[in-house]
Amino acid sequence: MKRLLLVDDDVESLAVARARLAEDGIEISYATGGRAGLEAAKSQNPDLILLDLDMPDMTGFDVCRILKADPELCMIPVLFLSGSATSADKVRGLDLGAVDYITKPFDDFELRARVRAAIRTKELQDLLIEHAHIDPLTGLPNRRALMDRLQMEWARRQRHGSELSFIMADIDYFKRVNDTYGHSIGDKVLQKVAGTIAGQCRESDLPARYGGEEFAVVVPNEAISGAVRLAERCRREIENVNLPAKGEPIRPTASFGVADAVGVPSAELLVDRADQTLYRAKAAGRNRVAVWPEARHS
């Protein structure tokens, strides 16, 4: 069910809009004011916001500007509501990122049609974003999605001081698999390893395909010790994989590098440290977990 947030200090308008839209199977919540609307948007993350222009505590323009500046809320489409919007107001609102205007008093058919159109647009937008962020072979988030999430968690760490760790992984001797069994078998190995790593992660973690035979995991709210345990679980489970190919089993292994954000000045350096640590694991014999710095591996 799609979720719509109505932000309007006019109780009568809220009641009318809710009555008109209830027939379309949309879950509707409301906030009576701009500041309450911002809080509701943050807590509910709705699929669509109907936002009144004229409210005493904050104008709809100000609310829209704050929404579009927030990376977690900026993709929610906004439809402005107004009883007296001038052409200049409409241009200003569209320039701020609103997708449409609806004039009060509501025409039943127009209100429902414009809401349905905005929701269809949001569905297409979500689909495009999903495909742009998903690796088609493994079904895991891709490198772009990984870095977006890492930047978001880095910003959260800067605001709240939360823990943050990062894992890099690489399938050992993967070129040998492709050369011996062919790329179709190599793809099956990638898919199996991807599923194995994802299966060990918490819901709050983000496992991703970094590129080629490399994978990575963003591990928020977790110190280095917890991330090491996660990497070790993944390593053991991958070691137990048994894929038949040409009458013989393929038993892949993987090497892991783990780093956390303690004393690290940027998200990019965190990735670089995990990557360097991964190569240390490979140089030490593969099929093992290494930690940055080595002295913290316990």
d(CA 15, CA 264): 52
Confidence label for 74 from pLDDT (cuts 50, 70 and 90): confident
Confidence label for 39 from pLDDT (cuts 50, 70 and 90): very high
Distance of CA 152 to the CA centre of its chain: 9
Residue tagged active-site, from 23, 213, 222, 232: 213
State yes or no: pLDDT of 187 exceeds 90. yes
d(CA 82, CA 70): 24
Better-scored residue on pLDDT, 35 or 293: 35
213 belongs to the catalytic site: yes
Instruction: Sketch the domain layout of the chain as residue ranges.
Output: 3-132, 143-296
Confidence label for 294 from pLDDT (cuts 50, 70 and 90): low
Nearest to 256 by CA among 201, 216, 223: 216
Q: Per DSSP, which regions of 190-247 are E strands?
A: 206-211, 214-220, 243-245
Nearest to 234 by CA among 276, 178, 267, 192: 192
94-105 pLDDT, tens digit each: 889 999 988 888
Q: CATH number for 3-132: choose from 3.40.50.880, 3.40.50.2300, 3.40.50.150, 1.10.10.10.
A: 3.40.50.2300
Q: Do the domains 3-132 and 143-296 sit in the same CATH topology, yes or no?
A: no
268-285 pLDDT, tens digit each: 999 999 999 999 999 999
- Residue 213: predicted pLDDT: 96
State yes or no: pLDDT of 296 exceeds 60. no
Confidence label for 297 from pLDDT (cuts 50, 70 and 90): very low
- Residue 82: predicted pLDDT: 85
- Residue 126: predicted pLDDT: 82
Query: What is the phi/psi pair of residue 138, to 5°?
Result: -95, -20
Distance of CA 77 to the CA centre of its chain: 17
The C-alpha angle 40, 163, 38, rounded to 5 degrees, equals 10
> How buried is residue 161: exposed, middle or buried, by Cβ count under 10 Å (0-12/13-18/19+)?
exposed
153-186 pLDDT, tens digit each: 999 999 999 999 999 999 999 999 999 999 889 9
d(CA 182, CA 28): 53
Residue type, 131: H
pTM of structure: 0.63
Report the topology of domain 143-296.
Alpha-Beta Plaits (3.30.70)
Please tell me the total number of residues recorded for the chain in this structure: 298
Residue type, 165: S
Alpha helices (runs of H) in 25-141, residue ranges in sequence order: 34-44, 60-69, 87-96, 108-132
Q: SS3 sequence, 247-278?
A: CEEECCCEEEEEEECCCCCCHHHHHHHHHHHH
- Residue 214: predicted pLDDT: 97
d(CA 130, CA 133): 5
Determine how many CB atoms are found less than 10 A away from the CB of residue 245.
16
